Chains A and B, each alone.
Chain A
């Protein structure tokens, strides 16, 4: 590339679209369960501020953390594993679902222009506790090398890259509750800059003993919960070339250190060249999923747009510091 080309390097005008969703959450698997809960409770989650619990939570005591009890990890993996942290289980499971939803043919070789961008607030805490417990109670020699390797925050994303031969960009974002949005913002930038053609992007969080014992529940905005949401993001050109049908467009994103001056939503709307957007969110019944939160909200946005909502729709963090703007994808 000549220096003049580099000087002119800017985001590509090609749109960035979502062609598949892989979701695991307290209400089950996939976006349909989320949208059913939204519509069934007359506005709990979905578009507008969440209010009542969805009827699917009628059987769940309000105080219990929300686990993804419908999810059997072994049923949602491409290859067998001897050990995985729960966070990696959820990540690979959501990737499994997303890849199929997008009808992605990944088995045909290496993919240097496909990648991963994953957000998680706390990563693999159960494995971290296992490792630290052994070290503290038995001594330095008694840590497990396997468990230690799987305790790294980037191990879920790395495992996804290994599973699907994704040799392109591979990033793990740990910005607390903003992590899922950070992952999607990063993927948007990577694709616009032409550094990749496709990324599995989203957020994940696993229930664990350290998390439940340590997190301050006041101010969470929901019951602690686990979940994973992976969106298949690609350039519109790449999607068209492989015959994929976009579900929606990720048009804008912003993740900020502060929330002043209109916050991240104003920035993301500017990025999306949109004047306004209604805010959509996952049902309250899903609980507070930390690093997966905004990725699940994003999936709801996509789901509502495919159902015919006019959009734009936005996923916005409760503190106003992160926002993602989605538009309907009309055939061009």
Chain B
């Protein structure tokens, strides 16, 4: 493993570091539950009990269970859309973890947010459509559905005044949010940024993913030869990023550094991956170049690893193409069999899992792995977590539409 001199020591450049994290997922309502579930080899995937699933290929999902939300805690008269509830809760954990003093009514002009979502307020959309089809459209539901509505709740509650952005590039959104938030720090546009992914399960997206056969009829098995599709999940994941020097001065805990990132398009097809994973290969290579990190310095890959037949070998090809022999020396795992594919929240949750991997020295497993696939011939940490020293890692995401994103994280 080669050592790359820390850029923190060079010429006053701003270095984005992670100082706070928050997660709401099928494994629980906070980061400890999320992480302990992952390294405890547990899965939060179970039958959906929030709405009817008749007609879906599978009633399994990474649903957030036993959910409770108090609007008073966030200064709201009533509960917002469920996706926004997840977002606010995860953000509160992250901001508290970072020790940032943010509050409504006090605009923090140097604190901003990059959000990420596939479907916005999807539960509100379902209600809105039901009313619309009956000739009774409810504008308040349309507003809660809006992609940016959850973000506006977050901005209002935490008094944010800095840069704002919301990405919707399908399942690549969350990873892109982490990278763009890091850019805002690096370019001096903000002193702190939230990278916030959020999405909630709802009938229409699941119906669509079911008829596309993206969803498996049995269990999600990333990289296993008998894989047959993915299982979706929901929740939110929020990271607080700050400049290293500022974070150090105020004594913040630093979980890791965002060394670089990239996003791109396969420019090939809306749903099918391109041949030989060329788009993912380019994005991984671009991310390493942006980070100025050599491929041989990577110690772990947190994979997109959806468990679909076409995706997993394409991602394996991409990783091997960029890392070369190093790909066979390190581990690459997918957490999607533990929490489901969290859609717009996935990339941010996986960045948190990757940061925890670095700081805790434990590789989360790829659950439900059964059969080796000659096309997927790397070490996927099958079924059980294990210790490992990880100083630099990649997290990769890809989405419908052909969007890809990759972020490079490093030890603090």
- Residue numbers of A with Cβ under 8 A of B are 1-11, 110-112, 115-116, 121-123, 128-129, 131-133, 135-137, 139-145, 148-155, 157-159, 161-162, 164-176, 178, 182, 186, 189, 193, 195, 209-210, 213-216, 254-258, 260-261, 321
Contact = CB atoms under 8 A, between A and B. Distances in A.
Contacts of B129: 129, 132-133, 136, 210
Contact of B55 (A6, A139, A257): A139
A260 B159 CA distance: 11
B265 A170 contact: yes
A265 to B, nearest CB: 14
Contacts of B143: 214, 216
B139 A214 contact: yes
Most buried by B among A8, A164, A171: A171
Given A154-B168, A189-B183, 15 more contacts: A6-B292, A7-B13, A121-B147, A129-B132, A135-B207, A140-B203, A145-B208, A149-B270, A171-B176, A174-B120, A175-B164, A175-B165, A182-B165, A210-B132, A257-B160
B148 A3 contact: no
Given A131-B208, A182-B165, A9 B400 contact: no
Given A176-B148, A214-B141, A257 B263 contact: no
Nearest to B165: A182
B11 to A, nearest CB: 5
A136 B166 CA distance: 29
B401 interface: yes
B211 A6 contact: no
A245 B132 CA distance: 49
Given A151-B208, A257-B161, A258-B161, A167 B265 contact: yes
Closest 9 A/B residue pairs (Cβ): A214-B142, A140-B55, A148-B208, A258-B161, A158-B401, A170-B265, A7-B10, A6-B292, A174-B147
Q: Is the interface of B mostly helix, strand, loop or mixed?
A: mixed
Contacts of A11: 187
Nearest to B111: A257
Contact of B401 (A131, A155, A215): A155
B54 A140 contact: yes
Contacts of A153: 118, 147, 168
A216 B139 CA distance: 7
24 contacts: A6-B7, A6-B13, A112-B264, A132-B203, A135-B203, A139-B54, A145-B211, A148-B212, A149-B212, A149-B270, A152-B401, A157-B169, A158-B402, A161-B265, A167-B264, A167-B282, A171-B169, A172-B168, A182-B164, A214-B145, A215-B139, A215-B142, A257-B112, A261-B161
Contacts of A176: 146-148, 152
Contact of A6 (B56, B165, B291): B291
B169 A162 contact: no
Interface in B395-412: 399-403
B36 interface: no
B327 to A, nearest CB: 22
B147 to A, nearest CB: 4
B138 to A, nearest CB: 8
Contact of A141 (B55, B146, B148): B55
Interface in B263-297: 263-271, 279, 282, 286, 289-292
A129 B142 CA distance: 12
A149 to B, nearest CB: 5
B267 A137 contact: no
Interface in B68-95: none
Contact of B162 (A115, A141, A149, A257): A257
A257 B155 contact: yes
B151 interface: yes
